[in-house]
A and B are shown apart, each in its own frame.
Chain A
Amino acid sequence: MLNFIVRRLIQIPVVMLVLSLLIVGLTQLLSPEQRAAPYIRNEQQAAHVQEIIKARGLDQPFAVQYGRWFTSTIHGDLGFSKASGKDVVATIQERLPATIELTLLTTIPILLFAVWLGTLAALHKDKLIDQIVRVFTTIGFSLPTFVLGILMLAVFYAYLGWLPGAGQLSVLNQFAVGDLHRYTGMLTVDAALNGRWDIAWDVLQHMILPALTLIIVLSPQMVRVMRNSMLETLTSDFVRTARAKGLAPRIVNNKHARRNALLPMVTLGGFLIIGLLGGSLITETIFAYPGVGQWVVQAASQIDLAAVLGFALLTALIVVVLQTLVDILYGVIDPRVRFD
C-alpha cells in the first residue's frame, strides 16, 4: 500500500511537468499580440502594444518563456492574474476554500441521494417508483445548468424572496467578515469558530441555491449508475447464494448487494469531486459565488495565461491526489483489489 501511495505521489511532478509543457506550448500558437491583448484595456494602450510585448518577453523563444515560467513556478510564484488583480497563488488560496465548501455541501447529498434513490429504483425495477426516478433523472439530464440556475434565482430569490441572491454574503456582513480570524479560509467554518453564527448562517444560505442547482444537475447520472450497478449485483451468483441460504432480503440487499454495487460509485464520486473542486464554472458564475470556477471563466475569456496555467496545475494536482484516494478506497471496500 505504501509503495502504491509513494508511486502515485511521484507521478504528481511528472504529470505537472508534461501538462505545463503542453499548456505553455499551446499558448505559443497565439501571436505575441494576442498574448499581449489582456494587458491592453483600451484603444489608447494599443498604441504601445510592441513595447508591452517586449517588456513582458512575449516575443522571446519558447524555451526562454517556458524556462522563465518554470523557474518562477518552482519558487512558488505562478505569476499575476489579470482577471483577479492578484497573484495566481493568492487567488487560489483565497478562492479554493469557497469551492471546497460548496463541494462538500454538494457532494455528500448527491452521493447519499444517489445511493438511496438508485437502490430504491433497482429494487422496484419497472414499478412506479422506478418510473418516477427515471422521470427525475431525465429532467435532471435535460436541464442546462445555466437555465436551472437562473430559474432558481428567479423563483427563490426574486419571486418568493425566501433565499438570498448572488454572492456569498449579505451586505450587512460584508464588513463584519473582515474581523474574523481565518483558520481554514472556509467562511462557514471560520465564522463558526469565531462564534459568529449569524455570518455562518448567512454564508450557508447563500450556498443553498448554487448547491441545489448542482445537486439537481449532477445527481441523475449518479442515480442511474447506482441503479444499474445494483441491478447487476442483484442478479449475480453470490446474491442468489445468499438468498438461497435463507438470509433476510434486507440483509441481502443492504449488506451483500449494495456494498458491491457501490464500487462504480466510488469511481464516479471521485470524478464528481474532481469536477466540483476544479470549479463549478457555470454555477459559480451565475450565483457570483467566489470560487475558482468563477475566476477561471473570466480568466479564460481574457486570455489570462498565468491564471489558466495556474488553474490547470491545480486541477492536475487535485486529479492525481483524488485518484490515489479513490484507488485506496477501492481496496477498503473490496479486499480483492490489491495494490502490490
Chain B
Amino acid sequence: MKKLVMLSSMLIVSTALAAAPADTLVIQESADIPTLEPAIAYDTASGQVIENIYETLVTYKGSSVRDLEPMLATKWTISNGGKTYTFDLRKNVKFHSGNAFTCADAEYTYERDLVTNTSDSGNWFLAEPLVGSQSNAKDDKNVTWAKIDKAVECNNNGQLVFNLVKVDPAFLAKLAASWMGIVDKQWAIKIGEWDGTEKTFMDWAGKEGLDNSALNKQPSGTGAYKLVRRDANALLATAFDGYWGKKPAIKNVIIQKVPELAARQQAFLRGDADLIEGGGRAVDEEQVKGKSGVVWIDNLPNVVSTGFFMNEKINGTQGSGKLDGAGIPANFFSDVNVRRAFAYTFNYQQYITDVQKGKGMQRTMLLPDSFPGYDAKVKKYSFDAKQATAYFKRAWGGNVWKNGFTITANYRAGSVGAQTAMEILQKNLATINPKFKLVIQAKQWSEMLKDSNAGKEAMIIIGWAPDYADADNFLYTFYSSNGYYFPRSNWKDAQVDKWLDQARTTVNQAERNRLYSLVANRAYEQAPYLLVPAAVNYGFQRDNLVGSTAQTYNPMLGFSYTGTFWKELSKK
C-alpha cells in the first residue's frame, strides 16, 4: 500500500509538471508537417511553420487581405507601366545561421524558385509573370537561363529588381504567400543546395525530391523563430535571439502530432495544449465551446469558394445519353434555362441551417467576400420552386419537364457537406417533378481528380482556396475558358473572357473592380455554377493566450489557428 501511495505521488507530481508553460506555445494537430522547403511548400500545414522561420518581402497588414505592408523590404516602387518592381531591402537583418541578409539572398531565392519550379509546387504563379511560362526549363524550352537571370536582379544600389515580362496586378500579393520567404544563399549552398549558377541550373530544373531537400532538414531564415528539431513526435522552434524586429514574447513553440481527436480535446481542456486542430463546427461547439478556460472566437472570414459544377459538355455518357428520363445528353447543361432552374432549386437557407449550423452566408460570386473585387450588390439566387418549375418547363423545348432526367452526381468521399448539399438538391428536384432524378455517389478524390480533369463528371462540388489575395486567382480559375476549372464546367462566354483578360492587364484596382462586377453580373444571368453558401469560420484557444482575436485574424496566413504570426502571441 505504501508503495502504491508513493507511485501515485510520483505520477501526480510529474503529470502536474506536464502542463504548457507560460513561455511555450503548444499546438496539437493530426498530421505531420509535409516540408519546410519554401521552394516546394504549397499547403497550409507547411506554410504555418515556414512563414515563422522565413520572411517574405511584403506581408498582409493586420487582418486585411487587401492591404500589404513591408517585411524584409522597406519600400517599393512600380515603374515601366507595371512591369518593373524595385524593392529597398531592410538593413541589419541576420539569418539564423549568423549570415547577414543581402540582396543576393533575395535574388538567389527567387531564381531558385524559378529554376526548380516543380510541378507540385506553387511557383507557377511566380514564373508566369517573370518568365512567361508556368513551367521550369526542363518542361518548357522557352524558359532559358537568360530569362531567369533577367527576371530578378540586384542593382548597384543594392535594391532588388523584378523585371516582369507582362503586367501582373497580383504580383505583390503573390510575393506575400508564406512560401515566398527568402532563404540564406550562403547557407543553402554550403549544405548542398543549388549553387546559383547557370552552369548547374538545368540539374535543378524541376528537381524531384525537393520536399526532402537539405533546406527542409536545416532551414535558415530571418524569421522570429528558428527550428530546433523535428522528429516523429513534434516540431520544436525557439525564438531567434538575433531577430531584427521586436523580441517575441513566446520563447518556444511546439507542434505535436496527435492524430486522435479525443486525445487532442482532452489535452486542450486540461490546458496541456494551447491550440488544437478541432473536429468541425458541430463537434467543437458540442465538446469544446463554453468549457472552462476556453475562448471561442466566431464569425471569422472564410477565403474558400465552393460551387456545384454543371458540365455543359460532358465527356462520356450519362445514363441513356438522351432526354428520355433515363439519362441526359452531353450538352444538357448548355441550356441556360436548365442552369437557372437548378440554381432556383437549391435551398441555400436549409444548407446554412443544417450543414453550417446557421453560420453561413450566400455570396454573390465565386470570390471570398473579403477580397478586393468582391461586389456585394450583384443579385443572388434563392430557393424558389415556382421559378425553378418555370425554367425547367422552358428548357430544351419543354422536353426536360415532360420526360424528366437521371443525372449521376459525385461528391468527394468523406465530405459530409458536399453530400448533404447534393441531398438537398436531390430532394427538391424530386419534389418539383418526380421524373427528376439525381443519383448521388461518393467517389475517391484521386478518381474525381482524374475524371473531372477529363470532363467526365456531369455535376460535382469543388472549392478553391487562394494562393494569393487577388480576385484573379478565383475568377479566372472559375469563369475564364482558359481557367483551370474550364474542363469541368465547359462554360464559355467570350465577353467574360475579355473582361477577365482586361483585368489581368491593368494595375488600376478601380477598373479591375468594375470588370469583376461585370463578370459577376453576367455569371448571375448565365448561372454557370450553383454557388454553395460559404461557411463562417471560427477558432478556439486557451484563455491565457493573448494577441489573437477576431480583429487580428488574417485568413491568408498559414497559421490558421490564430491567423497571426507566432511572434504576435503571448501568454499570461
Listed in ascending order, the chain A residues whose CB lies under 8 Å from chain B are 30-31, 33-34, 36-37, 39-49, 51-52, 55-56, 80, 82-87, 91, 94-95, 98, 150, 153-154, 157-158, 161-172, 174-175, 178, 201-202, 205, 285-288, 290-291, 294-295, 297-298, 303
Question: If the complex has contacts A40-B449, A175-B238, A205-B15, are A52 and B119 also in contact, measured as CB distance less than 8 A?
Answer: yes
- Which residue, of B14, B229, B269, has the highest number of chain A Cβ atoms within 10 A? B14
Chain B nearest CB: distance from A167 CB in Å? 6
Distance in angstroms between the alpha carbons of A80 and B135 in the assembled complex? 24
B206 A55 Cβ-Cβ under 8 A? yes
Which residues does chain A contribute within 8 Å of B21, judged by CB atoms? 171-172
- Contacts A/B (CB < 8 Å), 15 sampled: A33-B449, A34-B446, A55-B208, A82-B34, A83-B32, A84-B32, A85-B32, A85-B34, A94-B231, A153-B262, A171-B18, A172-B17, A172-B18, A294-B257, A298-B32
Which residues does chain B contribute within 8 Å of A34, judged by CB atoms? 444, 446-447, 450
Chain B nearest CB: distance from A56 CB in Å? 6
Question: If the complex has contacts A157-B266, A162-B11, are A171 and B20 also in contact, measured as CB distance less than 8 A?
Answer: yes
Which residues does chain A contribute within 8 Å of B10, judged by CB atoms? 201
B272 A165 Cβ-Cβ under 8 A? yes
Chain B nearest CB: distance from A75 CB in Å? 15
Taking the complex as formed, is B277 at the interface, i.e. its CB lies under 8 A from any CB of chain A?
no
User: Which residue on B lies nearest to A284, using beta carbons?
Assistant: B259
A interface, over-half SS = helix
| Beyond known contacts A43-B464, A171-B254, A285-B259: 14 more, CB 8 A cutoff | A39-B120, A44-B464, A44-B467, A87-B212, A150-B260, A157-B270, A164-B18, A166-B263, A166-B267, A167-B233, A171-B20, A172-B21, A178-B228, A205-B11
B32 A161 Cβ-Cβ under 8 A? no
A163 B462 Cβ-Cβ under 8 A? no
Which residues does chain A contribute within 8 Å of B252, judged by CB atoms? 175
* Number of residue pairs A-B, CB distance < 8 angstroms: 186
B465 A42 Cβ-Cβ under 8 A? yes
B232 A295 Cβ-Cβ under 8 A? yes
A45 partner, pick from B28, B42, B135, B257, beta carbons under 8 A: B42
Which residues does chain B contribute within 8 Å of A291, judged by CB atoms? 232
User: Which residue on A lies nearest to B252, using beta carbons?
Assistant: A175
Which residues does chain B contribute within 8 Å of A290, judged by CB atoms? 231-233, 257
Chain B nearest CB: distance from A210 CB in Å? 11
Contact with A along B445-472 (1 / 0, CB 8 A): 1110110010000000011110100000
Question: If the complex has contacts A37-B446, A166-B263, A205-B15, are A44 and B122 also in contact, measured as CB distance less than 8 A?
Answer: yes
B254 A286 Cβ-Cβ under 8 A? no
User: Which residue on B lies nearest to A291, using beta carbons?
Assistant: B232
B260 A288 Cβ-Cβ under 8 A? yes
Q: Shortest 8 CB-CB distances between A and B: which pairs?
A: A51-B119, A290-B232, A170-B18, A37-B446, A33-B450, A166-B263, A41-B43, A288-B258
A56 B208 Cβ-Cβ under 8 A? yes
A31 partner, pick from B216, B450, B484, beta carbons under 8 A: B450
Distance in angstroms between the alpha carbons of A98 and B231 in the assembled complex? 12
Which residues does chain B contribute within 8 Å of A295, judged by CB atoms? 232
Which residues does chain A contribute within 8 Å of B119, judged by CB atoms? 45, 48, 51-52, 55
B11 A288 Cβ-Cβ under 8 A? no
Taking the complex as formed, is B118 at the interface, i.e. its CB lies under 8 A from any CB of chain A?
yes
Taking the complex as formed, is B33 at the interface, i.e. its CB lies under 8 A from any CB of chain A?
yes
Listed in ascending order, the chain B residues whose CB lies under 8 Å from chain A are 8, 10-12, 14-21, 24, 26, 28, 31-35, 42-43, 118-120, 122, 124, 135, 139, 206, 208-209, 211-212, 216, 228-234, 236, 238, 252, 254, 256-260, 262-264, 266-267, 269-270, 272, 444-447, 449-450, 453, 462-465, 467, 484
B229 A178 Cβ-Cβ under 8 A? yes
Which residues does chain B contribute within 8 Å of A161, judged by CB atoms? 12, 15-16, 270
Chain A nearest CB: distance from B11 CB in Å? 5
B212 A86 Cβ-Cβ under 8 A? yes
Which residues does chain A contribute within 8 Å of B236, judged by CB atoms? 174-175, 178
Chain B nearest CB: distance from A284 CB in Å? 9
A165 B24 Cβ-Cβ under 8 A? no
Which residues does chain A contribute within 8 Å of B264, judged by CB atoms? 166
Which residues does chain B contribute within 8 Å of A154, judged by CB atoms? 262, 266
Chain B nearest CB: distance from A26 CB in Å? 16
Question: If the complex has contacts A42-B465, A285-B260, are A174 and B254 also in contact, measured as CB distance less than 8 A?
Answer: yes
Which residues does chain B contribute within 8 Å of A86, judged by CB atoms? 212
Question: If the complex has contacts A34-B447, A165-B272, A178-B229, are A55 and B32 also in contact, measured as CB distance less than 8 A?
Answer: no
Question: If the complex has contacts A166-B260, A169-B233, A288-B233, are A48 and B124 also in contact, measured as CB distance less than 8 A?
Answer: yes
User: Which residue on A lies nearest to B260, using beta carbons?
Assistant: A286
A174 B234 Cβ-Cβ under 8 A? yes
A43 B462 Cβ-Cβ under 8 A? yes
Which residues does chain B contribute within 8 Å of A153, judged by CB atoms? 262-263, 266
Distance in angstroms between the alpha carbons of A31 and B453 in the assembled complex? 14
B263 A31 Cβ-Cβ under 8 A? no
Question: If the complex has contacts A31-B450, A49-B453, A167-B258, are A80 and B211 also in contact, measured as CB distance less than 8 A?
Answer: yes
A43 B233 Cβ-Cβ under 8 A? no
Distance in angstroms between the alpha carbons of A80 and B217 in the assembled complex? 13
User: Which residue on A lies nearest to B233, using beta carbons?
Assistant: A290
B259 A175 Cβ-Cβ under 8 A? no
B263 partner, pick from A46, A95, A288, A303, beta carbons under 8 A: A288
